Chains A and B, each alone.
Chain A
Amino acid sequence: MAAADELAFHEFEEASSLLAETPDAATTSGRGQLAPQGHVAVEVDSGGIYGSEEAEESDKTALLQEEKQQPGFWTFSYYQSFFDVDTSQVLDRIRGSLLPRPGHNFVRHHLRNRPDLYGPFWICATLAFVLAITGNLTLVLAQRRDPSIHYSPQFHKVTVAGVTIYCYVWLVPLALWGFLRWRKGVRERMGPYTFLETVCIYGYSLFVFIPTVVLWLIPVPWLQWLFGVMALVLSAASLVFTLWPVVREDTRLVAAVLLSTVVLLHALLAVGCKGPRSSFISSSRCLWSTWHRRPRPRLCLQTSCCHPRRGLRPLRAAEPTGKGLLLPFLPVSRSPRAAPRSLSLSGPT
């Protein structure tokens, strides 16, 4: 009895404090979301996909959103509003991005129109460091198999991986958001997502790559490709299911092109993450040494580093294998495709 009383008291206090903060809430009509049960709001907003479970949450979200005074961007509290999440909310959003379902819009259901920057920022930072660390570990494991490989902790990988991932999570959503706003006129029902919501979608969709990159340490090639494909499917699916309600009202061509571009860019990122693991042993050291020590290409002649599996073999810089073809997409090895190879073939000049 006492417990029930406490609960009742608590709710009342919360509601009254909400009303105190937003004194005009009762009188604002807004988007009509203050109807007693909120069913009207659900239908108008999301095309009637969702059930009445959304009703209560949409009420509360509307109350909190309508009257929140946006402080200027030069104040600290402006940025604090982007970090207004709890641990349970962040975990819930991560879970939502890991398990995409067709009717389940990530933005409406998990973000509930309150995007945060915590998730995208720290997921990208974690992914960048995990990429660098597992790249390093791959080299360690390779060296155990073949002691002639020279081990060095490639610290520059952290910088490269970090820059690539952060650019991806900021520039691609910017382009997508700009494009969706430009096409806004075509859509009647669903407004475009805000920029932060788009960043959130992309940021949280990258979470699935973190365990995948760790699992890529297992040196079984078909297993690596399996994990890669699974991760790509999961994260691309979460992107597509989130973007589909916004894009489906557009013309078919635009929708198809947009979605396929999104998936393609995501696939490029996945391949870029995967690339160094498969082609590292055969090419990256030789390319690095030939690119950075062009006057002295004899480095490649010195040891059997170039082809550890084949023993001593003169002069060829990189194998034109299928895996070597991934080199153009590698964010890590900064060498162009043709020139260094010919230099090392010709030897000292």
Chain B
Amino acid sequence: MAKAAESPGDPGTTTPRPLFAGLSDISISQDIPVEGEITIPMRSQIREFDSSTLNESVQNTIMRDLKAVGKKFMHVLYPRKSNTLLRDWDLWGPLILCVTLALMLQSSVDSEKDGGPQFAEVFVIVWFGAVTITLNSKLLGGNISFFQSLCVLGYCILPLTVAMLVCRLVLLAEPGPVNFMVRLFVVIVMFAWSIVASTAFLADSQPPNRKALAIYPIFLFYFVISWMILTFTPQ
């Protein structure tokens, strides 16, 4: 469209010069040596890279992965519209968070009465909940890959894990209505933070007339986890 609007007789444009136009002007004399080395820099770099990750110390490997996980934690805590979580997805972060949450939430083994959730129940809820939400968003026509979505949902549990830690600390004090109000406030704030973070990453992958349909299950998921955190009582 824009091209058609341009007048064809525009004096500003010049005809492009044919390739190698000036080559005929150069005379290669015998004096100029044409020599050098032809190396393909990429290949040697890759070979170096491979052997370096094989031979590097375990500490380096672990630190590299931990740094990647930590960087994604930062992205969740300060959600901006960036692609890092989506591009380099990994499931280490969600696993660490899920295990931490399940360990803190499980009721003690002695009391088998209607207690809180067991470790397995929390684990199953988090992972199967995330899988269900991912399937739901894919079935609704979202263009996000399966593991990317799992990665985002898992990482966005971080605020709720922080809320669990805070609740645990607050529960060390004496129980009472103030205690409960503090825990309620913390859980509500972290719940809102989780929703905002996951929406910032996932909302764009849905068609616009189905965004609410895809976001509601995420809301339900984090609501259930927040509920489990809020009703936690140390036995």
Contact = CB atoms under 8 A, between A and B. Distances in A.
B114 A152 contact: yes
B53 interface: no
B139 A80 contact: yes
Contacts of A288: 113-114
Chain B interface size, as a band, is: 20 to 34
A166 to B, nearest CB: 13
B91 interface: no
Interface of B: 111-118, 121, 136, 138-141, 209-213, 216-217, 220, 223-224, 227-228, 231-233
Interface of A: 76, 79-80, 82-88, 90, 118, 122, 125-126, 129, 133, 136, 151-157, 288-289, 292
Contact of B116 (A80, A82, A152, A289): A152
Contacts of B116: 152-153, 155
A80 B141 contact: yes
Contact of A118 (B112, B136, B211, B232): B136
A21 to B, nearest CB: 17
A155 B113 contact: no
Contacts, number: 69
Contact of A153 (B136, B140, B232): B232
A118 B233 contact: no
B228 A87 contact: no
- Interface residue SS majority, chain B: helix
Given A83-B139, A125-B220, A126-B220, A155 B115 contact: yes
B82 to A, nearest CB: 27
Given A151-B233, A155-B114, A289-B113, A88 B228 contact: no
A90 B231 CA distance: 32
Nearest to A117: B139
A162 B191 CA distance: 23
Nearest to A77: B139
21 contacts: A76-B138, A80-B141, A83-B140, A85-B210, A87-B209, A87-B210, A87-B212, A90-B213, A118-B136, A118-B213, A125-B220, A129-B224, A133-B227, A152-B115, A152-B116, A152-B233, A153-B232, A154-B114, A155-B116, A288-B114, A292-B113
Q: Of residues A76, A133, A155, which shows the largest number of chain B Cβ atoms within 10 Å of its Cβ?
A: A155
Contacts of A80: 139, 141
Q: Which 7 A-B pairs have the closest CB atoms?
A: A154-B114, A83-B139, A153-B231, A155-B117, A86-B209, A87-B212, A153-B116
Nearest to B132: A125
Contacts of A125: 217, 220
A288 B112 CA distance: 11
B213 A85 contact: yes
Contacts of B112: 292
B211 A87 contact: yes
A213 to B, nearest CB: 15
B114 A156 contact: yes
